[in-house]
Copies of this chain bind each other. A is one copy, B any other.
């Protein structure tokens, strides 16, 4: 999927919602937990329930990896079930020296046909380049994250009085283009979002942290949207665990619809 197709999807659906499939076998409804392929069944139900309100799915790789080889089969089957119209993000936060990052890029863009993968920037240019070499794929680099730990290093000041995350975003932005490079900015960081938008006016931002982590959809949308949308808001637990009972899919639809309805006015301002 390229950027033009993504923007088209968002405008057509009137939604910039991405649903995060952080599927934990211990958190899915009890009646499913003991069934065969429970994770896969749950994911399929969630995809059916939300696909009309969202433009993408973010698969949190950790929750599949923990199940061993079987988990990777669930991941592959979940990926295959996502409609081709939807952006498929591997939330993997990989990054290593060049020849190893090339293997990670191949994993998520070839072995598994994701459209995008999240990447950790600490190790610098040669750890990110191999991902950027793929056409019509997106590398989503960690900018300023939503967690409390963001204060430890991301918000340290550099000798030229910038935040460390700013240096990461500025420098990394020069290695790619808005066609192949997005950044993660936590919804809980909306006070920094105005500034980040100035640094990278054109790149899409992937914003987790609305919902369970307490970020505001209104603030994020007001500060983050640009002329070409430029924003994907991810919600995971708030949607997929909206109900722990047999009505989990209906409740997931309801919450996803609430997000979509809340987003619509911002797209038409």
Contacts and interface: CB of A to CB of B under 8 A. Distances in A.
A196 interface: no
A93 B120 contact: yes
Contacts of A151: 124
A60 B100 contact: yes
Nearest to A237: B99
Nearest to A98: B147
A91 B153 CA distance: 22
A157 B156 contact: no
Interface residues of A, number: 60
Interface in A51-78: 60, 62-63, 65-70, 72-73, 76
A142 interface: yes
A123 B100 contact: no
B159 A171 contact: no
Interface in A123-167: 123-128, 142, 145-154, 156-159, 161, 164, 167
A125 B168 CA distance: 19
B125 A148 contact: yes
A146 B62 CA distance: 26
9 contacts: A60-B103, A62-B103, A69-B76, A97-B213, A123-B153, A124-B149, A153-B167, A159-B161, A164-B164
Interface of A: 22, 24, 60, 62-63, 65-70, 72-73, 76, 91, 93-101, 103-104, 106-107, 111-112, 120-128, 142, 145-154, 156-159, 161, 164, 167-168, 171, 213
